[in-house]
Amino acid sequence: MGSLMFGKDETLTCVQPVTLKGANDEALCLAYKTSKYFVGAGVYLKDDGYVLKSMASPDTYYQVPEGAELKAFQADGLMPDPLPPYSVPFVEYLFGYSLWILVALVIGFERFKKARTKKRQAEDAATPVSLGPPTITTDGDRFIADTVRPMLRPGEQVQHQAYGQKERPEGVVAAARNVGLFGVLTNQRLMLVKTKIGAFKPILENHGVDEVPREAIFDAVEDDYLITFRLNDGTARSILVAPQEKHFSNQRAFIRDVPRLLGKARQVETQPQVVG
């Protein structure tokens, strides 16, 4: 696992050996030096040009002679003539400017996420609110329906159901305390059936039910699939509903319609009329 880096870092890269000796009669190579500065990740990279690197001590170098002194060494065969070209590898520039690359990626991802959310919200707003009943096709759908059916009161109808989690699993502590939830909205109540979170797929178990009357909910807000229900007593409930529908068929409908049915700008519900 990589670690964060801080401060200045100099790198010496040999280009070719030279006959010229160092101050301690050690062998040298013609090298180029780069300087990087890090604040967790790379802030900049500077190409410092040619140096003479000591082969006896990897971090020791000498400045390359200039002018007449360099020409004299070249004439004596102690230095190459002309000095060979070199290029700093592109990957070094990526490493040296990695902080700004990371910043650009984060900004780009946030913009993409906002654009995606805006598009989804526009599509949801153009879709009529559904009052159910939910689609029952998978084992998960049937489990939710079978679990809630005995709890229904006379005249109570299920409008939406989905599987989610209590909160975003961000960090080890949050993941450890998180619980799975089967969210069910009826025309009378919001029911959150607790369950364990499976490693590979949802666990179909009932570990207790949290029931909230609809009249006790004054607002419901969805933010990147996390729906927060704000209650009149100042408390709140939440459920994070993923839009994938491999195990549960009503995820998207729950995300789209439940906030519109329970939010401050809630939709007017109409029931089918029976004509006698």
Q: Does a structural domain hold residue 269?
A: no
pLDDT of residue 267: 61
Domain span at 228: 134-262
Q: Say if residue 168 is in the same domain as residue 89.
A: no
pLDDT tens digits along 85-129: 999 999 999 999 999 999 999 999 999 988 887 888 788 778 899
Q: Does a structural domain hold residue 222?
A: yes
| Paired sense of beta strands 180-186 and 189-195, if any | antiparallel
**Average pLDDT of 143-155?**
96
Q: Say if residue 83 is in the same domain as residue 159.
A: no
Q: How many domains does the chain have?
A: 2
The tokens for 5 are: 């880096």
The partner residues of 33 in beta bridges, in order of sequence, read: 12, 49
Q: Does a structural domain hold residue 69?
A: yes
Q: Does a structural domain hold residue 112?
A: no
Q: Residue 1 pLDDT > 50, yes or no?
A: no
Q: Say if residue 100 is in the same domain as residue 140.
A: no
* Helical spans, DSSP H, in 131-206: 139-148, 172-177
Rg of the chain, C-alpha, whole Å: 33
Q: Does a structural domain hold residue 179?
A: yes
Q: Among 11-20, 121-130, 267-276, whose mean pLDDT is lowest? A: 267-276
3-state secondary structure of 190: strand
Q: Say if residue 67 is in the same domain as residue 144.
A: no
Q: Say if residue 99 is in the same domain as residue 191.
A: no
Of 17, 93, 83, the C-alpha closest to 55 is 17
Question: Where residue 201 sits, what CATH number does that domain have?
Answer: 2.30.29
**Average pLDDT of 76-93?**
94
